[in-house]
Chains A and B, each alone.
Chain A
Amino acid sequence: MGAVQLRGFGWRHAGRRGWAVRGVDLRVEVGERVLLLGASGAGKSTLLAALAGLLPEDSGEQEGTVEIDGLDPRKARERVGIVFQDPETQLVMARCGDDVAFGLENRGVPAEEIWPRVDEALRRVGFPYDRDRPTAALSGGEQQRLALAGTLALRPGLLLLDEPTANLDPAGATLVRQAVADAVDADTTLILVEHRVAEALPLVDRVVVLEPGGGVRADGPPDAVFAAHGDALAAAGVWVPGRTVPPRHATTPPGEVLLTADRLGLPPRLAPTDLRVRAGEALAVLGPNGAGKSTLALLLGGLLRPGAGTVAATPALAGRDARTPPHRWRAPALAGRIGSVFQDPEHQFVTGTVRDELALGPRRTGQSEAAVTATVDTLLERLRLDRLAGANPYTLSGGEARRLSVATALATAPRLLICDEPTFGQDRRTWLELVDLLADLRDAGHGVVAVTHDADFVAALADRTITLERR
């Protein structure tokens, strides 16, 4: 069970002008392992939702056909399991065992069979805790393994994984991939969407590349596909394995100190840390989850009051305000000196259009209307957002939202930019743009601090690293 047949398949969400996915002809046999690739916006997630039967007929317009074992996916739901990207929003119950049992209850599995199947599924994904463990106490990687167990317990013929590791740190992502490798039966069909191709390749035996305009661009064994289409795929934003990125390190020694952290801490989230942030230098903050990296970014950004120690700005950054710590500055003064880019771009959006979003900061810091317009136009063009100037920030794709969130922080021309996981879940194209943008800023004499798990990003950009230890 679990054969997929698509013939000229297309889907357009209600109220949208463009097709999310179109003209896809594809057959996947039982037991095949397929990596589904395509640039951001090529319709990978929509295709998975269609296969999972999660696109109600009245929610859009369909073209062609999609079948699971010859059935409409909406009628073959019990044959298909899907794991999504965000661990937080796919766990339903408060206790781990109950969460795995949830799907079994829904499918009407007899009560006496439920708990043996729960235990079996937890064992298969290598879940380290017992059934009573609260789901809220799990790390992201553990939550994703639990979500996988909840899906595998239903014994699907077709397993769909929609970027299951995109939100995880490297250790968590490795555990989830290991669980997939160990737990999926030989006769289960697997379709995986994943940006990080090199890490996903051991799990698959076939690669299918969707073309953003419609149709399938390439299909076959991984080696053959990358040999024939590697350059084009890399240019379209796919992380083709074996392609290195030219590093962009500082060519001049770092400049003056902008910010000094002295025994800076916030119990219990961050142990006392000493740190100097310099102009013209890209500093990467590394460390495992739970070491307090994001907390450090917020403290340096003047957004949290230190629990211990101090953050002090130098006169080079803050002029006469250097006598007061950044967390006491008024917001417009702060935004003009230290820009912060949050992990989740959507937290930062305040207005209804991309243009207003970019204009907000400069207006707040008291620039003239002509200067605001000039700043906004420059940023729109530089970050390829000009076509989206009138769009609502909440409707942007992941890559677009990330570019906008960086652009908003740059709009007030702060001397220091602090980014929390700026490259999380980004395709190769946006990733390269971010590296270039941050390198340009650094070379122009700005300070850049990036909290990150991304080893490639550190290798490409960082001039100096500090590593926080888990407490």
Chain B
Amino acid sequence: MISVEPVAAPGAPLARRNPVAKLAAALVFTLILVATLDPVAPAIAIAIELAVLPLFGVRYSVLARRAWPLLAGAGGILVTLVLFAADRSGRVLVEAGPVLVTEGVLDTALGLVLRMLAVALPGILVFATTDPTDLADALIQNAKAPARFAIGALAAFRLVPLLEEEWRMISMARRARGVDAGRNPIAKLRLFGSTAFALLVGAIRRGTRLAVAMDARGFDAGTPRTVARRQRFTRADGLLVVAAGALAAAALTVSVVLGTFRPLIG
């Protein structure tokens, strides 16, 4: 099953914050960070992110499981950049045959990979600690998002885990019909395409039925909606956003003081 469930302990002090506040805090934090190209500021940011993890009720092992594709990608980028970077300035660190690793190369590669991790982690944290229903509610009530969009997306999102089962069924049904690709890569690609098309056709039919059922229960009929689950944006939520901005600014300040700051523009 494709997991869409939050993994946090629900009582953790920051996990309980308003979903819109968490989203805004993550955005503010990462937007400030992308201002620099150096490795120091993102390294500090990652340290901060890991330090606040327990406040969100997420265990480190759980985060590692969720973020492993990201970590693998980061490792790949690091190796590629170190081996093939065009700019080979600075002191030579390793020289082995065609491989030439210099200080400049390592600096650029590390900066990029750390930035990627620092920017991605807050997003992972928000979605790992937020119930999708709460997010949709908060987007409608606190961020004035249209209900048509937020509830519609939420309902569609609920159908996502069904797609995986549907894919398996379609693949097996095709095999039962005598359709398989064997070892031929082109046939494999065509089979993949036609299975994906069948999945799409099924998804559209299902989506249409769901839309009719929502229609029948008065969704988006022009009557002003009321809300059954009140989401409040409190002073503590505001503080979370301010604190995120302050921490990111602090990371940048350290980088400026140490002289490693390299602005994105200029």
Binding site for B on A (CB under 8 A): 52, 54, 77-78, 81-82, 84, 86, 88-95, 98, 101-111, 114-115, 118, 135-136, 147, 150-151, 154, 298, 301-304, 330-332, 334-336, 338-340, 342, 344, 346-350, 360-361, 364-365, 394, 408-409, 412
Contacts and interface: CB of A to CB of B under 8 A. Distances in A.
Dominant secondary structure at the B interface: helix
Contacts of B213: 84, 89-90, 92, 147
B2 to A, nearest CB: 12
B178 A103 contact: no
B53 interface: no
B221 A347 contact: no
B229 A348 contact: no
A412 B178 contact: yes
Contacts of A412: 178
Contact of B176 (A82, A91, A111, A342): A342
Contacts of B226: 104-105, 108-111, 114
Interface of B: 131-133, 151, 154-155, 158-159, 161-162, 166, 169-170, 172-180, 182, 194, 198, 201-202, 206, 209-210, 212-221, 223-230
Contact of B177 (A118, A136, A350): A350
Nearest to B1: A136
Contacts of A335: 176-178
Nearest to A49: B212
Contact of A84 (B154, B162, B198, B209): B209
Contacts of A106: 217-221, 223, 225
Given A92-B214, A94-B158, A332-B178, A342 B173 contact: yes
B178 A98 contact: no
Name which of A115, A344, A348, A364 has the most chain B CB atoms within 10 A of its CB. A348
B172 A303 contact: yes
Given A154-B217, A304-B172, 12 more contacts: A54-B215, A84-B213, A92-B219, A94-B158, A103-B218, A114-B226, A135-B158, A334-B178, A335-B176, A340-B172, A350-B174, A394-B201
Given A101-B228, A108-B226, A136-B161, A348 B178 contact: no
Contacts of B220: 106
Contact of B180 (A92, A331, A347): A331
Nearest to A109: B226
A347 B173 contact: yes
A82 B212 CA distance: 10
Given A301-B176, A303-B176, A348-B176, A107 B223 contact: yes
Given A108-B225, A347-B170, A350-B194, A330 B180 contact: yes
Contacts of B177: 331, 335, 348, 350, 360-361, 364, 408
13 contacts: A54-B216, A89-B159, A91-B158, A95-B133, A105-B227, A106-B218, A106-B219, A111-B228, A111-B230, A136-B161, A338-B176, A364-B177, A364-B179
A331 B221 contact: no
Contacts of A95: 133
A380 to B, nearest CB: 17
Nearest to B211: A89
A331 B178 contact: yes
A360 B169 contact: no
A121 to B, nearest CB: 12
Contacts of A302: 175
Nearest to B212: A54
A408 B173 CA distance: 11
A89 B161 contact: no
B209 A346 contact: no
A89 B217 contact: no
A92 B223 contact: no
A108 B223 contact: yes
B210 A52 contact: no
A127 to B, nearest CB: 17
Nearest to B133: A94
A340 B176 contact: yes
10 closest Cβ pairs, A-B complex: A335-B178, A331-B180, A364-B178, A103-B217, A106-B218, A90-B213, A101-B228, A340-B176, A89-B209, A303-B172
A98 B179 contact: no
A136 B180 CA distance: 32
A162 to B, nearest CB: 10
Nearest to A52: B216
Nearest to B194: A350
Contact of A298 (B170, B172, B215): B172
A376 to B, nearest CB: 14
Contacts of B224: 108
A412 B229 CA distance: 56
Contact of B218 (A77, A86, A115, A118): A77
Given A106-B221, A360-B179, A98 B133 contact: yes
Contacts of A150: 217
Given A54-B212, A106-B225, A108-B225, A365 B178 contact: yes
A84 B214 CA distance: 11
Contacts of B154: 92-94
B178 A92 contact: no
A105 B225 contact: yes
A140 to B, nearest CB: 14
A88 B162 contact: yes
